[in-house]
Amino acid sequence: MENSFMIKTTELVKIYSMGWKKLAALDHVSLNFAKAEFTGVVGPSGSGKTTLLNIIGSLDTPTEGSANVLGKKVEDLSNRQAAALRNQGIGFIFQTFNLLPVYTVFENVEFPLLLLGLSADERKEKVIQALEWVNLGERAKSKPAQLSGGECQRVAIARAVVKKPAIILADEPTANLDAENSHNILKTMEELNRVLKTTFIFATHDEKVISYIRRKITLVDGKVAKDEAVNPTRAEGIG
């Protein structure tokens, strides 16, 4: 069964040094994530949600323990290998969208494909498809500054899914959005999870997000306080 997990963390510890003081952001966290999960990591501020996502996303390394992501041990990866893993296997969605301001919507979504070295025709086809998924086909030529917050986050989703990564990590994706936009975004992600079988992991404390996820991992002080299935009525991604 172990091989079927996309992500497996074992006794993950992350300690930050704050001067002379050591702060354990993650304290022996062991979790498994399967393909097409729609999971939320919840907890109060400082509970280690973002740290966990950063390690899974190979943006950071654990102080102790191991994080196996798509068959690669994050702690053993060189900078180049970590960048390749992020480029090929992981999509990120950020709270503040993090779109490249000088690029158009089309170019922002196209960017990960450029790094993958796809041809212009392939890129165009995939970008158009991704923009259709998030209903932004008509805003392809707009710059991020011309978009609303909801539209920006939809562009960020399109950018994350365009390369069809195995995993999408979303850190507080609805924190800057109003209720209507949050629901639209979440519906879009839920649909993509269903269609593309992408594993979504959210770091959130937004109740709206929690109402969409199917698995809820609660972190408190860097430890897994609860790991439970929730919202059984929501559509199952696998299938």
Q: Which residues bind another protein (CB under 8 A)?
A: 54, 57, 59-60, 79-80, 83-84, 86-88, 92, 94, 96, 98, 100-103, 107, 111-112, 114-115, 159
Between 45 and 79, CB nearer to another protein: 79
Q: What is the DSSP-derived secondary structure letter of residue 198?
A: -
Q: How far apart are CA 42 and CA 208, in angstroms?
A: 12
**Closest distance of CB 69 from another protein, Å:** 14
**Closest distance of CB 143 from another protein, Å:** 9
Q: Which two tokens stand for residue 5?
A: 């997990």
**Closest distance of CB 108 from another protein, Å:** 10
Between 4 and 17, CB nearer to another protein: 17
Between 155 and 215, CB nearer to another protein: 155
**Closest distance of CB 100 from another protein, Å:** 7
**Closest distance of CB 37 from another protein, Å:** 20
Candidates 164, 182, 223, 191; CA nearest to 41 is: 223
Q: How far apart are CA 81 and CA 84, in angstroms?
A: 5
One DSSP character per residue, 95-116 reads: TT----TTS-HHHHHHHHHHHH
Candidates 14, 16, 20; CA nearest to 66 is: 14
Between 97 and 212, CB nearer to another protein: 97
Cα 130 → chain centroid? 16
**Which are the contacts of 11, defined by CB distance < 8 A and separation ≥ 6?**
28, 29, 30, 64, 65, 66
Between 160 and 213, CB nearer to another protein: 160
